[in-house]
């Protein structure tokens, strides 16, 4: 059979069923993989138990800030691994890449259970675990993008729902396990579970054969959201739209990751919420972070990347401005739900836009480069928040910067976030 024709393979099965149904199973399995990978967002639950462990059990002088560093190291290596994984995803396929990434992720958690210093934690958890997530993260996204050219935003958003929703689920599990069996045994059990689950969920993952498309689908541009051509990574970086997408993604991640990094202290220090309730609210915000992905992904499908991006920045600007000017418990809950939701939304907008603007032929390498904006936001956001808190004595000053950045995002999206012209030069 010639797989390069548009004729649909008559004997093609996905997860033992017709591809139109089976492709949804791949999305659900990708969601499950991301539930494992996204446990990094539960790191705040480990900060105090780890601090106590090093101080009381090992007699070492460490601070909560020392224990927060693995979070930043993890996110940095997560983002750095993404661009380098793309070509191997094409060569070895999503199943093998997911298994390698899943094993490294689990190994990072597993080895964290035997560390005897904070520096070791940076290496085994931050570097090994971060690389594992960076290797695995793009694979289920690429699978969803290729099986769903007709509903790419929704499929990618649902796949990534697991990553955002993970903190709500795993933070509660981790908290209960730490209370009953200590923090190091929790690391050990999580590590083994992640290795087993990611391998199982990875086994059915594959790309559709060349020439396959959903029944009745024709690649007609929606809402001015497609370029009607395939660009490789070299061609992508020559387009203005790439830099617009990158900086919009960076601004959204910077704002969202700042909101994640100081959600609880803003609640307790600025609006005087009781500590236990503030912890519960972090889980509540994680729900918005998770569901922001399919919601904004579906919006990107329906109204296009440009309008969806502008809408997200309007929400970020309003949430930040109201939090700056009228800090109160209701405003805090609404504003942080919005900020977490928009971060989740951009983790669907960015990959969906990458596929829509530049095609899927070189998608893993293209999105890997776009995803560096997340890593930059992960490094700059929390550090900027800490710096502003140090010099001003309050987290409120952060929201003035976020408001200004969101306005810049609106301008960039309105002027430049458009598909590259079909007449663009190719190599």
Residue scoring higher pLDDT (258 or 177): 177
12-21, 70-79, 382-391: range with lowest mean pLDDT: 382-391
pLDDT at 386 over 60: yes
- Cβ of 48: how many Cβ atoms within 10 Å? 13
Q: What SS3 state is found at 238?
A: coil
- Rounded mean pLDDT of 98-113? 95
Is pLDDT larger for residue 272 or for residue 230?
A: 272
- Which whole number is the average pLDDT over 363-370? 83
Measured distance between the N- and C-terminal CA atoms of the chain, rounded to whole angstroms: 31
Q: By percentage, how much of the chain surpasses pLDDT 70?
A: 93
pLDDT for the residue 426:
43
* CA–CA dist 371, 366 (Å, integer): 9
230 vs 195, more confident? 195
Mean pLDDT of 215-235: 69
Confidence of residue 427 (pLDDT cuts 50, 70, 90): very low
What gap in Å lies between CA 5 and CA 7, rounded to an integer?
5
Q: What is the pLDDT of residue 353?
A: 93
Query: Are 84 and 369 spatial neighbours (Cβ–Cβ below 8 Å)?
Result: no
Mean pLDDT over residues 320-335, rounded?
A: 92
H/E stretch holding 57 reads none
pLDDT, averaged across the chain: 85
Q: Which domains does the chain have, with CATH numbers?
A: 14-209 (1.20.1250.20), 220-427 (1.20.1250.20)
Query: What pLDDT is recorded for position 363?
Result: 76
The CA distance from 213 to 197, in Å, is 29
Specify the pLDDT at position 101. 95
pLDDT at 65: 64
Beta-bridge partner residues of 300: none
pLDDT digits (tens, 9 = 90+) for 47-75: 778 888 888 877 777 776 677 778 878 88
Is residue 210 classed as helix, strand or coil in its secondary structure? coil
Around Cβ 372, how many Cβ atoms within 10 Å?
16
Helices and strands: H and E segment counts in the chain: 16, 0
The SS3 of residue 120 is helix
DSSP state of 187: H
Asked if residues 184 and 113 have their Cβ atoms less than 8 Å apart, the reply is yes
Region of poorest pLDDT, from 154-158, 321-325, 326-330, 336-340: 154-158
Residue 370 scores a pLDDT above 60? yes
């Amino acid at each position: 059979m010639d797989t390069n024709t548009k004729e649909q393979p008559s004997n093609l099965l996905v997860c033992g069923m017709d591809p139109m149904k089976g492709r949804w199973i791949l999305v659900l399995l990708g969601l499950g993989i991301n539930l494992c990978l996204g446990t990094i967002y539960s790191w705040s639950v480990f900060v105090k138990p780890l601090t106590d462990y090093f101080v009381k059990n090992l007699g070492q002088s460490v601070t909560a800030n020392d224990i927060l560093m693995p979070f930043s190291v993890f996110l940095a290596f997560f983002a750095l691994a993404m661009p380098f994984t793309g070509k191997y995803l094409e060569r070895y396929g999503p199943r093998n890449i997911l298994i390698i990434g899943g094993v490294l992720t689990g190994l990072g958690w597993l080895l964290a259970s035997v560390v005897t210093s904070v520096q070791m934690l940076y290496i085994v958890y931050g570097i090994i675990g971060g690389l594992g997530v960076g290797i695995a993260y793009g694979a289920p996204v690429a699978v969803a993008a290729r099986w769903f050219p007709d509903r790419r935003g929704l499929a990618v958003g649902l796949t990534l729902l697991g990553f955002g929703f993970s903190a709500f689920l795993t933070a509660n599990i981790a908290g209960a396990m730490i209370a009953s069996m200590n923090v190091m045994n929790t690391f050990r059990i999580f590590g083994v579970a992640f290795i087993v689950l990611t391998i199982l969920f990875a086994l059915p993952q594959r790309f559709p054969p060349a020439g396959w498309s959903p029944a009745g689908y024709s690649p007609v541009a929606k809402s001015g959201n497609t370029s009607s051509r395939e660009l490789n990574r070299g061609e992508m970086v020559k387009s203005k739209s790439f830099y617009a997408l990158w900086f919009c993604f960076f601004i959204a991640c910077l704002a969202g990751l700042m909101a994640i990094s100081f959600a609880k202290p803003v609640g307790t220090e600025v609006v005087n919420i009781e500590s236990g309730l503030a912890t519960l609210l972090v889980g509540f915000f994680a729900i918005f972070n998770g569901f922001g992905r399919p919601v904004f992904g579906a919006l990107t499908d329906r109204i296009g990347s440009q309008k969806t991006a502008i809408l997200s920045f309007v929400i970020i600007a309003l949430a930040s401005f109201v939090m700056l000017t009228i800090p109160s418990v209701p405003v805090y809950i609404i504003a942080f739900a919005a900020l977490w939701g928009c971060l989740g939304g951009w983790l669907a907008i960015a990959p969906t836009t990458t596929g829509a603007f530049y095609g899927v032929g070189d998608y893993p390498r293209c999105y890997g480069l776009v995803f560096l904006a997340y890593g930059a936001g992960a490094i700059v956001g929390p550090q900027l928040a800490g710096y502003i808190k140090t010099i001003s004595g309050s987290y409120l000053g952060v929201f003035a910067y976020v408001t200004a950045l969101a306005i810049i995002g609106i301008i960039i999206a309105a002027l430049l976030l458009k598909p590259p012209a079909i007449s663009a030069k190719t190599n």
